[in-house]
A and B are shown apart, each in its own frame.
Chain A
Amino acid sequence: MNPILAKGKILSNRLLLEGGLLYEMKILTPEMAAGALPGQFVQVDCGEGTSLRRPISICDCDDITLTLCYDVRGKGTLAMAKMPVGGEIDLLGPIGRGFEIPEQGRVLLVGGGIGIYPLVKPASLLGGRAKALLGFRNASLVNGVEYFTDYGAEALVCTDDGSYGVHGFVTSLLEEELKAGDATVLICGPMPMMKAAAAVCAKYGAAAQVSLEERMGCGVGACLACVCKIKVKDGDGEKHARVCVDGPVFDASEVVW
């Protein structure tokens, strides 16, 4: 669907991680939620003192609600954390080209940090066909695993320092999985992690989709603030694609890393 402007009602806005800065917000916004697709995002109006909306991925959705999971990083996300339950939130969305969910076959959901959340909706559609490979810096930051297991997906967790789950990077888990058999791979996380994961997929010939992040202006494709470099199909050139509407999900093989 085309993006719309809507005032949603905040049903909950809770801290997810003890001592952390990670929040989950559930919003009642039937028109927007009904049309939302996995991997799309919304542009949140964070109120007075902000001149740009903040892009936040749709973590999950049903016919009437959207769930957003967000890290408090600065002014805008701090304002979100303070928004009262029962209050209104001004949204522009749903925006962008999301994940293409394959009809059949095994799907690996490769997430790092806050990047695990856009993979939740795909997990809900895939159930047992999905296996989540989730990476965090250390045990204190591990969160959200149950979002995947609740939908019937298997989940493997690793930490950079080995303080929880498997010791190492999520790319090592990915490599083990792809050695064992082919899969479609959906990737979301910090840029270096996505780049490394895409390289592993390329090595094993697995189809991979990545969800990119870039600073945004309009969020509707008009201002060209949010571009990323993409290989020109059937050529050797490069062009700029807009992360907001040509993405945020791209075929990993087209991205110029």
Chain B
Amino acid sequence: MAKVDMSVNIAGVTLRNPVVTVSGACGFGEEYKPFYTTADIGAIAVKGTTLLPRLGNAVPRIAETPAGILNSIGLQNPGVDVFVTRELPRLREEGACVIANIAGSTLEDYQAVAERVADAGVDLIEMNISCPNVKEGGVAFGVIPAMVEKITAAVKEKCGKVPLIVKLSPNVADIAENARAAQAGGADALSLINTLIGMRIDIKSRKPILANKIGGLSGPAVFPVAVRMVWQAKKATGLPIIGMGGVATAEDAIEIMMAGADAVGVGTAMFKNPMAPIEIRDGIERWCEEHGIADVKEITGSVID
């Protein structure tokens, strides 16, 4: 059998394979170089970038949970200037497909960052309106459908030719409604899910483990929620989707693709296994071979429901 076509398409941008390393789990792609390069994966979504540098939250910023983790990094990042001048040229040279993940406190912040990264020539822009870890970190924009539509439309204006992905929060009443709101605002694609809000308490000290008290839950614990939401968002919009949330194996990736994801995000799984993105990529390819699938895109939305 001929080789499997592993490429996928997100809003007109071709990814060489469906595996995306998710925002916040892979920095700007430098740290995982001993294990894989950004040329080995479909795309890299870089750390959430804001207009000005952010120091982030106090420590502890991470806690283990059953089948997952809680984090409250608080969008620590060097600011959009550093991203554009230092990280982006290097990523370009490596042959990365770059998804700039943007965040902000105000609508104007989002617009300004979007304009900078669009001008700098990233492949895709992912607007994070779902960070649970900073008060003004966009959640305000991500929960109410009318706000989702408003900010999407405002930011889309500044993206020029670069397609805009709206990253949806799972901490909402009806994901389908929020997905439709993003589409109405002009989103070219969706990514979901961001983390679910959670909390852990050390029963010895009676104190929350995280300094921020609450944080975002990710890892296998959230996987069924992610599958359900991807399925609903796809049905509601038909937009290209990067599905993420607890994907740890090739089988998980195939499952979330069947639910409607065009590409698959891998984050928390890397902390245990730095090779996870590569193993997932190769596992998907093998599965396609074994099942006589010539084009990985055939998996997307193939759930029999």
Contact = CB atoms under 8 A, between A and B. Distances in A.
Q: Do A and B come from one complex?
A: yes
A227 B61 contact: yes
A45 interface: yes
A92 to B, nearest CB: 7
Given A218-B31, A222-B25, A225-B62, A5 B68 contact: no
B35 A5 contact: yes
Given A222-B32, A227-B76, A239 B62 contact: no
A220 B271 CA distance: 9
B69 A4 contact: no
**Chain A contact surface mostly:** loop
A50 B268 CA distance: 12
B67 A217 contact: no
A224 B61 contact: yes
Interface residues of B, number: 36
Contacts of A168: none
Contacts of B82: none
Contacts of A225: 59, 61-62, 71, 73
A2 B59 contact: no
Interface string A220-234: 111111111000000
Nearest to B209: A215
Nearest to B55: A240
B210 to A, nearest CB: 9
A97 interface: no
Contact of A215 (B47, B63, B66, B272): B63
A4 B59 contact: no
Nearest to A74: B64
A51 B32 contact: no
Contacts of A49: 66
Interface in B37-96: 47, 55-56, 59-69, 71, 73, 76
A51 B61 contact: no
Given A4-B34, A51-B220, A215-B60, 4 more contacts: A5-B275, A52-B62, A217-B62, A222-B31
List the 5 closest pairs (A to B, CB-CB), nearest first.
A2-B34, A225-B62, A222-B27, A222-B31, A221-B31
9 contacts: A5-B273, A50-B64, A217-B69, A217-B71, A218-B270, A221-B31, A222-B27, A228-B59, A240-B55
